Structure 1
């Protein structure tokens, strides 16, 4: 299933809208405004919190914890690499690796070595915009939370 993740331009904090392939709102992401580190909540359109994403501070490389149902279900860590960005995720859903292109605009998500999602960032968009193609047997909110973390790590502070 395809989703389109777009950061809202004129808002306080990191806020995103996530639309499905037909252009309907599927999820929304709301970031805390005055906090140390990134703290973002992914909500269903009826207002239920599905995922909470929290940046861990004082780490050599970026690290994010992904919470579902008030417990940590995944730890996302950026790996040290020279040319292509790489991330590793230990989760209750399996072991994930994310490999990106040299400019961090295209990513592939692998679970246990098998491709489960493709992420591509639009190069000439007014705001950070991603197209995400997720396999149907994966947890959409979980994979979309990885996209939000990728945006925070690679693209959030570049223009500020």
Structure 2
């Protein structure tokens, strides 16, 4: 598993920040785009190549965010479950079919992402003593850009919910 450090509250217009790997190296840049009709973030690798685009879905019945690949194709849509015994339970509907379950203490940044009942990512604020950061641990072989993009979506949607 690989662990990344993510800064909280990445929602300001033009707000850019680096996601660092567990060794403190800059791994991905979350680039908040200015002058867009809807909130948009680009996730870029350490060479500046766009690996995912995160957009707030316009005119949705309930808040949702879409993760696109670098060519604009939808990869996943993240939204809160309508009926769930857990107060904050989200899911990511994968464009190719399937669904990722996102559950736990989303406000407190202590949650997991599961595919078919198997944990593929874990988010925890407790791994870092640095204020306003949380960790994302991703299983070997999992789609790192997608899971980091989903963490950014959950952060944004939960902040809007509360």
What TM-score, normalized to structure 2?
Answer: 0.82
Give yes or no for the alignment of 1:140 onto 2:141.
no
Structure 1 runs not aligned, ≥5 long: none
- 1:78 corresponds in structure 2 to 80
Number of residues paired by the alignment?
156
What is the distance in 1 between the residues matched to 2:85 and 2:17?
30
The runs of 4+ residues in structure 1 deviating greater than 6 Å are none
What SS does the corresponding residue of 1:149 show, helix, strand or coil?
helix
Aligned to 2:135: 131
Where structure 2 has 5 or more consecutive residues not aligned to the other structure, the ranges are none
Are the equivalent residues in 1 in contact too, given 2:109–2:124 (CA < 8 A)? Answer: yes
Q: Deviations over 1:3-33 (max 9, x none)?
A: 1112588x75332311111010001011123
Match of residue 53 from structure 1:
54
Cα RMSD of the aligned pairs, angstroms, is: 2.7
Distance 2:157 2:129 in 1: 19
Alpha carbons of structure 1 residues 102 and 16: separation in structure 2 relative to 1, 3 Å: closer
Q: 1:58 to 1:140 in 2, by over 3 A?
A: same
1:69-108 matches, within 5 Å, as 69-70=70-71, 71-80=73-82, 81=84, 83-91=86-94, 92=96, 94-101=98-105, 103-108=107-112
Query: How far off is 1:45 after superposition?
Result: 1.1
Cα contact 1:8–1:14 (8 A) shared by 2: no
Using the size of structure 1 for normalisation, the TM-score is 0.83
Provide the residue aligned with 1:68 in structure 2.
Answer: 69
How many angstroms apart in 2 are the aligned matches of 1:86 and 1:8?
Answer: 19
The equivalent of 1:113 in structure 2 is 117
| Structure with more relative contact order (C-alpha pairs < 8 Å, separation 6 or more) | 2
